[in-house]
Structure 1
Amino acid sequence: MEVIYLLCSIISTFFTSLALSLLLPPFHALLRLRRPSRASDSYVSLYQGTVWHERRRPVHHAFKYAVRYAFIDLDRAIEAPPDHLSADEARRVAETDGPVYTFPTYLITRSLTDTCFLLTIPRSVGYEQNPLSLYYCYDLEGTTQHLKKCIAEVTNTPWAERVSFVFNPNSDLVAKPLHVSPFMDMLGNWRIRTNTPGENLIVTISVQHPELGDYFVATLKAKRVSSSLLSDNAMFFWLMPHKVAIWIYWHAFKLWWKKVPFVQHPRYTDPAYKEEALIRDQKLQCCPAVGGENDNHGYLAGRSSGSRWFKWRDAKWPWS
């Protein structure tokens, strides 16, 4: 049944994206006539680079693909991107209170007490495929600001389940909390780190498995693109989510072809996998407690004292 759902979803996405792609050029031509200035887009910095995956065991499999990301100043954005945290929500989770910040692309200096940025692949022509989004939350030490905490949003395919958690950008170890691939079990930990975004941006995630060792690594390396050279951000991200989805499905097929063992979703075999991930993460003792005990938005639901902040989103229809 899930295969039928997947095929219907692919067909629906294809025709929706085709129709919206045909409407995209005239729509944005009209938009430029009505709004010749792009000043309101100055809260977005653009990155272009490569995602690289390598699986070492039980078989070797590696691939890379080009990717484009938006680095969004959430404090200056008119509103947070749909289905993401606002700047205030991210700061509340990460417990940060940033200083004046000079945005590197546009050299804009802001006298704000808070600074929070979102790295994400925006929705394009009616479709979103975003395996990883990161919030960069800054804080003040003396007269200088520094990147204090990050929040990761990891979304799996095709279920669109999501887990969000806080981590130390310098390097952190997180108990695996989400079934991200039907060719990986739930054992092991994620080693995750990122640099402070500037001209270059690097994100690295590796999997430390109790039996397979360090058997998987994923890396994003990107450079900032001058937005002044682009006439339209929508065209910059045209079909970007679709390309990511194609790579995910194609290499899943190749892993199946290489006879990598298929792992059923733990919601069928181990419904308590989320609670078990919390327990395993507490044992790592790599991160102090963050956030408060009460939260009107439910972001701290299920968190116990002394644990890392986690939040899960269940699968959407028709996978729920």
Structure 2
Amino acid sequence: MEVFYFLGSIIFTSTTSFILSIVLFLRRLLLPSGAKHTSEYVSLYEGTVSHERRHPVRHYFWYPVRYALFDLDHATNVPPNHFSADEARQICETNGPVLLLTIPASVGYEQNPVSLFYCYDVEGSSTKLKRCIVEVTNTPWGERVSFSFDPHSVDTVAKTLQVSPFMDMFGNWSMRTTAPEDNITVTVGAKHPELGNYMTAILKLRKVSDKVATDPYLFCWLMPHKVVIWIYWQALQLWWKGLHFFEHPKYKNPNYREQCVFRDNKIQGNQSVGKQAETETINIGTSHVAVKTHSHSFIWREAKWPWK
């Protein structure tokens, strides 16, 4: 039954995107000559995403991407379905600006494997990047996990989301990012207890000149659609190479999230083997956050239709 729901969602999304694309370009044509949509509170970037899988088979690919960076305190028409500036500040315990790097939903469709919040602290006259939050969304389920990390070092966190059906839930991620300036580089390393450092993903972006910058939603037109096509194309190649298909852990292990937090505590050296992970639950807007006593905060968002 889920297959029919999935096919139905493809047809619905395609029809909606076609109609909204016409509306988008008509709106652009009707704007006064020389009118601009971008402001000092939105910056546009383009670049590439690359993945290198070393085990259990070798597989490399890259594809072009476009992102937008929003100042959440001042930008208008901010993408929905993300934390607000105040929520991000609460998670990271900061008091300054919050910038969101993301692929905005385009003509009715959202597909964004990774978004990042850059949270700053203000001390006197200086503003310094203190913490980041990464939002990781899996395909095809549309689940999301968010967690904070230190951008100034290679911060290691337990794997907390089934991002690919071609890898199990064991292991950890190592996160690092540069501050969002003229260039942005985000590096994610994946390590497995048996396979070692089996994968590296790198996002490299450069800022687009203000002279060619336009409406971020026009700049990122069909970007989510292209991303999902590339994801499924690479999945088909991995399947063709004979990789084992892992069922989502929620079907066999309903407590897998608690176990992920327990493993993260062990990674940080806070928890002895056999002891329960120490966490507390606090409210972030309408979400519930499992807060580790040491380094990371985890927020899970449930799967969307038709994967509920």
Indicate the residue corresponding to 1:132 in structure 2.
114
TM-score (normalised: structure 2): 0.91
Q: Does 1:120 align with 2:102?
A: yes
- Amino acid aligned to 1:2: E
Matched, 1:148 2:146: no
Report the Cα offset of residue 226 of structure 1: 1.3
Q: Which residue does the alignment assign to 1:84?
A: 82
Deviation at 1:24, TM superposition (A): 2.0
Distance in 1, Cα, partners of 2:293 & 2:216: 43
Alpha-carbon RMSD: 2.2
**Matched position secondary structure for 2:26:** helix
Asked if 1 retains the 8 angstrom alpha-carbon contact of 2:280 and 2:291, the reply is no
**Percentage identity across aligned positions?**
54
Gap regions ≥5 residues in structure 2: 271-278
Give the TM-score, by structure 1 length. Answer: 0.87
Equivalent position amino acid for 1:215 in 2 = Y
Are 1:221 and 2:204 matched, yes or no?
yes
Question: What is the aligned residue count?
Answer: 299
1:282–1:308: 8 Å Cα contact kept in structure 2?
Answer: no
- 1:192-222, CA deviations, whole angstroms, 9 ceiling, x for partnerless residues? 1000111110000010100000001110001
Report the equivalent of 2:141.
Answer: 159
Q: Does 1:295 align with 2:283?
A: yes
Question: Secondary structure of the residue that 1:72 maps to in structure 2?
Answer: strand
Which residue of structure 2 aligns with residue 230 of structure 1? Answer: 213
- Give the equivalent residue in structure 1 for 2:273: none
Q: Offset of 1:80 from its aligned partner?
A: 4.2
Q: Is 1:177–2:175 an aligned residue pair?
A: no
Give the match's secondary structure for 2:18: helix
Unmatched segments (≥5 aa) in structure 1: 98-113
Seen in structure 2, the aligned counterparts of structure 1 residues 39 and 60 have a Cα distance that, compared at 3 Å, is closer
Sort the Cα spacing of 1:264 and 1:292 in 2 relative to 1 into closer, same or farther, 3 A: closer
- Contact 1:164-1:312 within 8 A present in 2 as well: yes
CA distance in 2, matches of 1:60, 1:294: 42
Letter in 1 for 2:73: D
Q: Deviations over 1:72-126 (max 9, x none)?
A: 01111236421011111111110112xxxxxxxxxxxxxxxx2110000001111
> Do residues 195 (structure 1) and 193 (structure 2) align?
no
Aligned equivalent of 1:205, options 184, 188, 209: 188
Runs of 4+ in 1 over 6 A off after TM superposition: none
Amino acid in structure 2 at the alignment position of 1:308: H
In 2: Cα distance, 1:154 partner to 1:286 partner? 24
- Structure 2 residue 1 is matched with structure 1 residue 11: no
Rate the CA distance shift 1:115–1:282 in 2: closer, same or farther, 3 A.
Answer: same
Partner deviation per Cα, 1:31-76 (whole Å, 9 max, x = no partner) = x23x965476331100100000011111111100000000101111
